[in-house]
Amino acid sequence: MQISQRAQTIEPFFVMEVAKAALRMAEQLSQEDWPMIYLNIGEPDFTAAPSVQQRAIKAIKEGLTQYTPALGIEPLRQCVSKWYETQFGLHVPSSRICITSGASSALQLACLALIEPGDEILMPDPSYPCNRHFITACGGRAKLIGAQAENRLQLSLANVQDHWGPQTKGVLLASPSNPTGTSIALDELEKIHAFVKSQNGVTLVDEIYLGLSFQLEQASTALVLDEDIVSINSFSKYFNMTGWRLGWLVTPAQLVSPIERLAQNLYICPSAIAQHAALGCFEPQSLALFEQRKSAFKERRDYLVKALLELGFEIPAVPNGAFYVWANCQKLYSSLGVNNSWDFTFELMKRAHIAVAPGRDFGQNDTEHFIRLSTASSMSSLIEAVSRMKAIFTS
């Protein structure tokens, strides 16, 4: 059997490989051992809001489990539209909102609709690895640009202008970003988009952590700038519905029909149960709960950043959203007898039973010296993890 070149060029998702190793090690631990602490996966420890769970049960009982329109049920599209108006004072008509099977599906649909074989898409380095693989899978090429601490590990207009070439089709940004948790300043994004548009390119913005922006000045959606921006979003992070696999895409009006045709053919429609359940996300008590949970994530961020700096990690840009800390661990190599973050990750797992994500996944911009720690775990887990690290780093 001959495997396609496309499949062969897609690298493993090393975060998940580390997760598998951590689970294998956890199974071998005795009752006397420290239990494994998982700071490697970006999955909230909070589950779906009570109203969401109740609506899912109701949907099953009432038989609301059959195919829906490919772009999602209209009540959910209207709820998302109203959310933009309430949160950002922005009118986004429901006709431009496409409900998808997770944000991954949203990005896949956008890439298939916009990227031709050979097209080049500019992205910051570091960035979420799966995003660049969606580009590759469509026959395009992700061109990673080293992002600097002075720009909070985001691209600047100068970066985009300097790297724009004959094959460049656009940019794919993320705000707040995985793995850095940093947002791109709205005025800089406006400049980038204006340049991209002048080159007849496309601006795609991954906004799946938008609801988890901790600073009001960084909390505005890119959609306020122009209807031509394509925004990818999700019910997984802010709305705590990871395994429900539900997201959405906001596109210019002329892109809706191509997206609909692709969705019809690729997966027919998003999960009917998840869609009917997600209506509960927009009830007042649910939105209040999500804001409380966001405050908890901010509290965890504040604790972990301070603790990591005291342990000797370097953090080039303090995250202002999401639930990640991007930390340079180079100064701690001697404590574990290693010389890169990949080996550091496995020694930390072995000695302290803490799972983190090595920088290898996220690019080539000095990433071999970084790890990503997730604050999606409980505060008690974070405190215990810091205690264990302090013990092994100072022994």
One DSSP character per residue, 331-355 reads: GGHHHHT-SSHHHHHHHHHHHH-EE
Read off the DSSP letter of residue 41.
S
Q: How far is the C-alpha of 42 from the C-alpha of 323, rounded, in Å? A: 7
Domain map of the chain by residue range? 5-47+286-393, 50-282
Contact assessment for residue 269 and residue 69, using Cβ atoms and an 8 Å cutoff: yes
Residue 292: exposure state from Cβ atoms within 10 A (0-12, 13-18, ≥19): exposed
pTM for this model (two decimals):
0.94
pLDDT value for 48:
97
pLDDT at 245: 96
Cα angle 329-332-335, degrees, rounded to a multiple of 5: 145
Task: Mark the ranges of the chain whose per-residue pLDDT is less than 50.
Answer: none
Domain 5-47+286-393 has CATH 3.20.20.220: no
What topology does CATH give the domain 50-282?
Aspartate Aminotransferase; domain 2 (3.40.640)
CA distance 169 to 199: 8
Q: What is the pLDDT of residue 41?
A: 87
What is the per-residue pLDDT for 127?
96
Q: What is the pLDDT of residue 7?
A: 83
